[in-house]
Amino acid sequence: MKVMKFGGTSVGKPERMKHIASLLQKEQETSVVVLSALSGTTNALVEIGNAIARGDRHTAQQSINNLQEHYNAFLKELFTKETALAKAQAIVDEHFEFLNIILKISFSEALSKDILAQGELLSTKIFSVYLEEQGESYALLPALEFMSIDENEEPQIGSIRIKLTQLLAQHADKKILVTQGYICRNARGEVDNLKRGGSDYSASLIAAAISASVCEIWTDIDGMHNNDPRVVGTTRPVEQLSFEEAAELAYFGAKILHPASIWPAQQYKIPVKLLNTMDPEARGTLITQEPSGAGVKAVAAKDHIYAIRIKSSRMLLAYGFLRKVFEVFEKYKTSIDMITTSEVAVSLTIDNADHLEQIVKELEVLGTVTVDTDQTIVSVVGYRINETEEIIKKLFGSIRNVPIRMVSYGGSQHNISLLVGADEKVHLLKQLNKGMFGLD
Ligand code: ASP
Ligand code: MG
């Protein structure tokens, strides 16, 4: 059994949805098909939730109406048979009726999660009716019946496995098992989610829970590329990556996989494939336990980074200083990405500025604090690159006239990270593309 996950753009247009059904038709293996919401839907639902939260029911109502029109048009284009169209229309109407009811009741956090869940509920139900229209052997497995997180918002793999195995046993004769990405139940039994972009995470958790042969992530690009195609002229797909390399790339900004989705596949040894719905024959990227060899695989950039420097003469010859610094970040549940130290100063980066003001205030007790906003981390990732002198020479030899604010080297064997001002990112990515990969 395998897992196939299709993202928002892969289901976002009626012809793409039809295309997925035809891809599934060619499959030999039984597949658990994990779907995202149609592209744009979750953003729209976030806005609806925000509008309701601030009491702006008028805007919320308008957004609901617009979204509903979008779905109505979608259905008309998707279905040919009247009966199927009527069935799908009834489902869509029911979900929008729910949204319209929510408009009238007082807002709560739990309710906002219910709103967000509508996207995946709609996409999977619409797709199911389409499969039915096509005469496919399928079943819809409600994610809310098996996908769960605990009090710390950690997925409960053991319980997911038990419940999913039971559900699968009920549909042992079916070849296609459709389910929702992203949504789950929390420790209070309420509808919740795995955070934005979480459908990849769902897919990887499901693959781990059922010991799938492979977890396929289908998008609209032929795998992970060596650099950002939106920034540099030429890129090429990376054929193979280890989980460790993939984790570094995913975390440091490659549009590859939700970073959280690496660990379940890695821990349960499920190979992950990144494939292209528009070009299903393309090799894509295979992610497995073992790296394909030493050398640089790709560079990635992570934007909207804050660099914080704490300078203190009290750090000189003292111990325990870093602990005090880290405690401040721990208190505000803010994770640190990069860190470098000298004898009298520590520089570190964060990407979550929700508590920046309080953090700075508390750090000021320890020393002089400066904050640089709008920074970018550029990471160079590859197996054991820090042990290869040639690579390091090549890396720094590639860079010209780009002021580097921080360098993180040796933290992992597979990553060298550079921090630059956001306005230097394009230069740096281009220079690295040329210097490290010989591409424009
Ligand atoms: N629909 C959700 C989102 O847009 C989850 C996903 O697509 O992965 O964040
Ligand atoms: Mg996604």
Q: What is the mean pLDDT of residues 356-384?
A: 96
Q: What is the pLDDT of residue 388?
A: 83
- Alpha carbon dihedral 252, 256, 259, 261, in 10-degree steps, equals -160
Work out the percent of the chain whose per-residue pLDDT is above 90: 88
Q: What is the pLDDT of residue 166?
A: 98
Q: Tell me which ligand sits closest to the C-alpha of residue 46.
A: 1
Q: Looking at the predicted structure, is the pLDDT value of residue 81 above 90?
A: yes
Ligand 1 atom closest to 202 (CA): 8
Ligand 1 center to 339 CA (angstroms): 31
Q: What are phi and psi of 241, to 5 degrees?
A: -140, 150
> pLDDT tens-digit profile of 237-272?
999 999 999 999 988 888 778 989 999 999 999 999
Provide CB contacts within 8 A for 169, sequence distance 6+: none
Instruction: Please say whether the beta carbons of 407 and 418 come within 8 A.
Output: yes
d(CA 31, CA 4): 7
**Taking CB atoms and a 6 Å cutoff, what residues make up the pocket around ligand 1?**
7-8, 36-37, 42, 119, 181-182, 196-199
Q: What is the pLDDT of residue 219?
A: 92
Q: What is the pLDDT of residue 310?
A: 96
201 CA to centre of own chain: 7
Tell me the two tokens of residue 76: 């008309």
Ligand 1 center to 119 CA (angstroms): 9
Q: Looking at the predicted structure, is the pLDDT value of residue 218 above 80?
A: yes
By the 10 Å C-beta count (0-12 exposed, 13-18 middle, 19+ buried), 216 is classed as buried
Tell me which residue has its CA closest to atom 6 in ligand 1: 197
Q: Compute the chain's Rg from CA coordinates.
A: 24
Place of tokens 């508590």: 355
Ligand 2 center to 35 CA (angstroms): 10
Instruction: Please say whether the beta carbons of 256 and 276 come within 8 A.
Output: no
Ligand 1 center to 178 CA (angstroms): 16
Prediction pTM value: 0.91
Q: Which strand (E) or helix (H) includes residue 33?
A: strand 31-35
Q: What is the sign of the dihedral through the CA atoms of 182, 218, 436 and 423?
A: negative
Q: What is the 3-state secondary structure (H, E, C) of 170-204?
A: HCCCCCEEEEECCEEECCCCCEEECCCCCHHHHHH
Ligand 1 center to 198 CA (angstroms): 6
Work out the percent of the chain whose per-residue pLDDT is above 70: 99
Q: What is the pLDDT of residue 306?
A: 98
> pLDDT tens-digit profile of 86-100?
999 999 999 999 999
Ligand 1 atom closest to 119 (CA): 1
- Where does the pLDDT of residue 317 fall: very low under 50, low under 70, confident under 90, or very high at 90 and above? low
Ligand 1 atom closest to 197 (CA): 8
β-partners of residue 242 are 288
Return the SS3 of 137.
Answer: coil
Give the mutation target among 121, 199, 204, 261 for probing the ligand 1 site: most ligand atoms within 8 A of CB: 199
Tell me which residue has its CA closest to atom 8 in ligand 1: 197
Q: What is the pLDDT of residue 318?
A: 76
- Where does the pLDDT of residue 227 fall: very low under 50, low under 70, confident under 90, or very high at 90 and above? very high
Output DSSP code: residue 294: B
435 CA to centre of own chain: 29
Q: What is the pLDDT of residue 251?
A: 86
Give percent helix, percent strand, percent coil of the chain, each to the nearest 5. 45, 25, 30
Ligand 2 center to 197 CA (angstroms): 4
**Mean pLDDT across the chain, nearest whole number?**
95
d(CA 440, CA 434): 6
Give Cα separations from 335 to 26, 92, 152, 332, 362 (angstroms): 44, 40, 16, 9, 16
Give the mutation target among 11, 41, 42 for probing the ligand 1 site: most ligand atoms within 8 A of CB: 42
Q: What is the pLDDT of residue 291?
A: 84
- How many CA atoms, within 13 angstroms, populate the side-chain half-sphere of residue 47? 15
- Of 178, 202, 180, nearest in space to 257 by CA: 202
